[in-house]
Amino acid sequence: MSWLGRLFKKDIKAPLRGARPVRREKTYSADTGYVYQYFYEGYRELTQAGESGFEHVFSVTSDRISRFPINIFLSHQVIEAWQAGNDRELSATEQYAIVKMTLFALFDDRTDFDGSERNFDVSLENVEEHAETLDL
């Protein structure tokens, strides 16, 4: 009967961690003219496409009516590559700042988040750009 359980098993992700007990809604005025409100829902350890890292989840709205998740994945491999090239480690707080800067860049560059394209990966180029902006 164990095969039956595997047949109907859903792809269940690990629970989110790291969110504050009392959520704080924040606002971001994007270059596109949209004003976004978002909550940080937390993060989870995740492996995707052979890379492990942390997926950070934000609950976002641009019209105060409908909310949708935006998931930003920061892989350990990208962080390690940046750290090797810059001869220093990024703290968890600095990594979160890079994730948040990636979220803001998405808000500035896009006017729609329709469909299933709400999962984004942070590239090494993104880390380098945001680290420079943050003066890391």
Q: What is the pLDDT of residues 48-73, one digit of tens each?
A: 778 899 999 999 988 888 888 999 99
| Nearest alpha-carbon partner for 48 in 100, 121, 131, 113 | 121
Counted residue by residue, the chain has a size of 136
The secondary structure of residue 62, as a DSSP letter, is S
Q: Round the CA-based radius of gyration of the chain to a whole number and report it.
A: 17
CA distance 74 to 76: 7
Residue ranges for the chain with pLDDT beneath 70: 1-12, 114-117
> pTM of the prediction?
0.83
